[in-house]
Chains A and B, each alone.
Chain A
Amino acid sequence: MRNDGKPAVVVGAGPAGLCAAIELKKAGAPVVLMDENAKPGGQLFKQIHKFFGSREHKAGIRGFDIGKELLAESLRLGIDVRLKTEVVGIESGLKVWAVEDRSKSYTLDAGKLILATGATENALSFPGWTLPGVMTAGCAQTLINVHRVLPGKKVLMVGSGNVGVIVAYQLMQAGARVAAVIEALPRLGGYGVHTAKVRRAGVAFHCSTTILRAEGKEGVEKAVIAKIDEKFRPIPGTEQILDVDTICLAVGLTPSIELSCLAGCRQIYVPELGGNMPAHDDYMRSSNESVYVVGDIAGVEEASTAMEEGRLAGLHAAWAMGYMDDQTMKTRTNETRERLQALRQGVFGQKRFAAKERILAMRKDA
């Protein structure tokens, strides 16, 4: 039975939200997609590298091209995309409170709510961290790839996960020199093929190393790094001074869970995937049956997994609203889960797979 014409409201027009909205609209369900930014696409338009995965995951295609494809599809389908629209509240009965262009406030009754709000980059504090020139890796990536502004000429990257290593590479593509990538753990975090291409460009990698302080008058002029012991304590006498004008922090992300808290979704703690996040089942439903959580809010992974999670939620919500028959929902859901599963294997995927399994188990316990 179709529910009185109330639309599914998707919050966040990144890869996960776009895919959820596309699935809903394709099924014929009314859908409203809201994003606080002036442009949709989330972080996809900053991703100038070719994606991994298989053909079904759009492997080999550069992130911004995937973004363009998703936008074209959403336009073709005629999805109601509301930009510069901030969702500031969720009231009981699934009333979505939105503020448009920082001036017009309204509420919208949602049939289903899909939260695709993403994640926020973590910061790291150390003496000098407020100097101009210290920024998150994502900030540097936005500057070079969206605004075409090089934030500095000599960069220290803090953190060797895929974000740190990919942004280090892209900073070099933009014309900067990367002095070093440092990592607090004894082993590098990112994919070996990413570290290898950065290393062959002459970038030093230092494991078991932290930043002690940034120095400079008007902005960053030097970074002081040092080796750390197994308890992450700096080892005296191992300090090294790097002449850099930019320090990028790539030290993880935290799911942006505020709206899921307002919607009453039960929160759980999963450190491997970024910390506190709403529990969800294998249709991406939170503890509130009408609220789905997809992409980084449901555990920090990658754009490719976010897109599949978005599709899972979109399919289920379309079915739950009466716009998709049982068989179609089942078949499409299984296909999507298989693609998702393929991305969660191998040395890197297994940890995320295990964490996701734990989330599903916690959801069932609730």
Chain B
Amino acid sequence: MSNNEALKTTGAPSLEELRAVGQLASEEEMEGRGCLCIECIEEIPCNPCQTSCPQGAITVGFPITNLPVIDRTKCTVCGLCIPACPGLAITIKSVKDDRARVRFPWEYLPYPSVGDTVRMVDRLGRELCDGKIVSIINPERNNKTAVITAEFPRKFVQDAISIARRNIDV
């Protein structure tokens, strides 16, 4: 296994590091209903992604430090695993024509509202482009981790991971 140089010096995994462990989805896989993306490239003792999945589509197995493996034939992209992941490492990405969407976990206040224009950010926190909030859900079972969907231009789909925090009063 690689030594995850980018992850361990910049804080975020590089596309190469994700690809090396089979965790970088292709745009083909993102077509239509989209696909689950788990960015968990380090062996840590954790498996709520597996236990949260009603389809049995995510396997960590034993030991629980194994990296998660997604069975895309079983995954219905329901998104229940997104708030279940204590590492906030799961997103769902989809592409259609020249637009893309990312569904991601969010634990900062204030929450954005549907229709808001936001700034999409990459894994290093750099602002990429404008995005629009498509939905935000935060039911009881999420245990205070909201799940937001944002839409943005397709060319940023591999890099976009979240949105910039807003209204920081400093």
**Which residues of A are in contact with B by a Cβ distance under 8 Å?**
49-55, 57, 59-62, 153-154, 172-173, 175-177, 181, 186-188, 191-203, 205, 207, 342-349
Contact = CB atoms under 8 A, between A and B. Distances in A.
Contacts of A347: 42-44
B62 to A, nearest CB: 8
A192 B7 contact: yes
B136 interface: no
B125 A199 contact: yes
A345 B63 CA distance: 8
B45 interface: yes
Contacts of A346: 42-45, 63, 65
A196 B39 contact: yes
Nearest to B86: A50
3 residue pairs, one from A and one from B, having the closest CB atoms: A193-B87, A346-B65, A346-B43
A22 B11 CA distance: 39
Given A61-B143, A200-B125, 15 more contacts: A52-B45, A53-B45, A177-B170, A191-B42, A192-B8, A194-B87, A196-B7, A196-B13, A196-B89, A199-B123, A200-B124, A203-B125, A342-B63, A347-B44, A348-B42
B40 interface: yes
B11 A199 contact: yes
Contacts of B65: 345-346, 349
Interface of B: 4, 7-13, 39-48, 51-52, 63-65, 84-89, 107-109, 121-126, 143-145, 161-162, 164-165, 168-170
Nearest to B90: A193
B107 A196 contact: no
B45 to A, nearest CB: 5
Contacts of A175: 109, 168-169
B12 A54 contact: no
Contacts of A154: 170
Given A193-B89, A348-B43, A176 B121 contact: no
Contact of B143 (A62, A176, A194, A343): A62
A334 B145 CA distance: 35
Contacts of B63: 342, 345-346
A345 B165 CA distance: 35
Contact of B47 (A54, A186, A199): A54
A193 B68 CA distance: 13
20 contacts: A50-B86, A53-B64, A55-B51, A59-B48, A60-B48, A62-B143, A153-B169, A154-B170, A172-B108, A175-B168, A177-B168, A186-B9, A188-B11, A191-B42, A194-B87, A197-B87, A199-B11, A200-B162, A202-B165, A342-B63
A200 B144 CA distance: 20
B123 A54 contact: no
Nearest to B47: A54
A205 B9 contact: yes
A153 B169 CA distance: 8
A192 B86 contact: no
Contacts of A207: 9
B94 to A, nearest CB: 19
Contacts of A61: 143
